Every structure is written in C-alpha cells, then in structure tokens.
Amino acid sequence: LLEPDIDRIAPSLEVGFRHFPAFQKTGIKQIINGPFTFAPDGNPLVGPVRGLPGFWVACGVMAGFSQGGGVGLALSNWMIEGDPGADIWAMDVARYGDWATMAYTNAKVRENYSRRFSIRFPNEELPAGRPLKTTPLYEALAAKGAQWGVSYGLEVPLWYAPEGVKDEFSWRRSTDFDHVAKEVAAVRNGVGLSEISNFAKYKVTGEDAAGWLDRIFACKLPKRGRMTLAPMLKNDGRLIGDFTLANIDDAEWFIAGSGIAEQYHMRWFEAHLPKDGSVRIEALG
C-alpha cells in the first residue's frame, strides 16, 4: 500500500459530502491507499495455474465488493467439486499466456481504464498494444484490406474491407455486414482460402499415447495416416474442447484445436497425463 494522501482525494470527498451531508461529521478513522490491479482486459484472473499443482489465483478483481462473492463461489466450487459451476472463461487465468507481456498489459490497462464508462459495441476491436503477434501473411493480407481482430495475442483477419470502407460499429448491423455476406457467397458459390495460423497445435508421443488419447477424447481413434474430429469432455460429460486428431504413426499424434484456449487445454491435458511418463504432450504454438 501507499502512504495516505487525503489531499489528493479531497475534491472527491467534498462532492461526496454534498451528496451525503451526514458524512461530514462522521470522521475518517483509516485511509487505505493503494493501486488497483488489472488484467489486460479488465476482468479478474481466477483459477488453477498450469504447471503449479495446488496453486490457485483470484486477483485483478477491481470491483471487489461487487465481484468478490461470485469469484469466491466459483473458486470454492472449482476447488471442491473440480468445476467452477458456470462458464467463467472471461475470468479464467488460462486465457493468457506468456505473450501477455508487461508492455502489452500496461497499454491495455490504460486503454481499458480510460474507456471505463464508454460503450464498447459488439465486435468492436480496440487498438492499444497491437499488433503484438503476427503471421508471415500479415502484410499481404493487410494490403488486401484485412480488418483485424486478436486471438490469444495473434492478429487474425476478420473480414476484408474494399478501398475507402471503414468499419463503423453500432448496436445494429455494422459496416462489415454486407461485405461479409459477399465473402460468404463467394466461398459458397466458388472457393475460399482461410488463414488458420491461430489454431493451437500439439504433438503427443509415448508408448501409451494411443491409450491415453482414447481415454481423453470421446471418439474412435483414427488409423495411421488418417484424422478425425475429437471432442473432449469433462467428468460430468460437458464439452470442453473440439479438436482435430491425426495419427502420424501410432507412436506420434498431432492435435489441432482452439488457439485462444491453448493454456486452458494444456492445463487439462497435463493434469490427466500418466504419472509414469509414458505419454508426453507438447504445445507447438
């Protein structure tokens, strides 16, 4: 915490006293002066930390009085029942990886705080701290009018704007609607090419790789040289991942899945690996 500095908040106190005159005579017994903690998107960071068994976090809870109860309930459910009891992806600490640097966090925190009482429209992308990660196709796609979003720190093309067109956001249909419709029609009636570098990719090896994959996924394993869709379920049968599973040579397997959930899925994979080291999994980025 920082040293008390009542002079700095005196103007705000005066406003409060005018609204609540009784406080003028109540007195101040204690001043707590310290910084807020923020994640880059302004949401809390909650849950078990990958690679540190038994280590849990609940931080970045800026609105502690209003959010604390929900955060505490989710965390206690998670610890006791193995599940937070609701979809709390927006708070899950696994939504960030090593790509979220201090410089990126600093830029996003300043942006979020400056817009704290501003409206963010559906599909609106905010620019601070970007681009952070790009693919080799970034410049070529940008030259074609790519309008960018971000997925796990990586710039991804959302749609392509003709020259002179700029996205304008609203609660109704944004500028992109008609142009996206044309892209969809072009793919449906002709052919399309999609850049999928934002997919997470994993390699699984080991003498019991096939047996482990058969347990972790709810699908029939593909034969050597083939691939299949592979859903992954939690203990209660609910879906937590939808992957493409390829059998390279029975002892080596390739998995592709949601890029934004890489840390989330690696946390689950690693928590369910055999203790004897007979199966190894590696995130390929």
CA distance 112 to 128: 9
CA distance 209 to 280: 8
Q: Which two tokens stand for residue 134?
A: 């790009």
Please measure the distance between the N-terminal and C-terminal CA atoms of the chain and give it in whole angstroms.
Answer: 38
Q: What is the pLDDT of residues 100-155, one digit of tens each?
A: 999 999 999 999 989 888 888 988 999 999 999 999 999 999 999 999 999 999 99
pLDDT of residue 116: 84
Spatial CA neighbour of 245 closest among 195, 209, 207: 209
The dihedral over CA atoms of 56, 280, 98, 52, expressed in degrees to the nearest 10, equals 20
Average pLDDT in the 251-259 region? 96
Average pLDDT in the 219-237 region? 95
- How many residues in the chain? 285
Most confident of the following: 163-172, 212-221, 233-242: 212-221
CA distance 227 to 254: 9
What are the residue ranges spanned by the domains of the chain?
1-34, 36-116, 130-195, 200-283
3-state secondary structure of 148: strand
Q: How many CB atoms lie within 10 A of CB 247?
A: 20
Q: What is the pTM of this model?
A: 0.85
Average pLDDT in the 14-37 region? 87
Tell me the residue type at 65. F
Question: Does the pLDDT of residue 5 top 90, yes or no?
Answer: no
To which residue do tokens 């055999």 refer?
274
Q: Which residue has the higher pLDDT, 23 or 233?
A: 233
pLDDT of residue 64: 67
CA distance 115 to 104: 17
Max alpha carbon distance in the chain (Å)? 79
Confidence band for 276, pLDDT divided at 50, 70 and 90: very high
Average pLDDT, the chain: 92
Instruction: Return the percentage of the chain with pLDDT > 90, whole number.
Output: 74
Q: Which two tokens stand for residue 65?
A: 């009085």
Q: What is the pLDDT of residues 33-92, one digit of tens each?
A: 888 888 999 899 999 999 899 999 999 887 667 888 999 999 999 999 999 999 999 999
CA distance 279 to 269: 11
Tell me the residue type at 275. K
Q: Are 167 and 147 in contact (CB under 8 A)?
A: yes
CA distance 242 to 92: 19
Question: Does the pLDDT of residue 190 top 90, yes or no?
Answer: yes
C-alpha distances out from residue 53 to 47, 48, 270, Å: 11, 8, 10
Q: Which two tokens stand for residue 116?
A: 């704290």
pLDDT of residue 128: 96
Phi, psi of 211, deg, nearest 5: -65, -40
pLDDT of residue 26: 87
Question: Does the pLDDT of residue 28 top 80, yes or no?
Answer: yes
Rounded to the nearest angstrom, the gap between the alpha carbon of residue 32 and the centroid of all alpha carbons in its chain is 32
Q: Are 61 and 44 in contact (CB under 8 A)?
A: yes
For the domain covering 200-283, report its CATH number: 3.30.70.1400
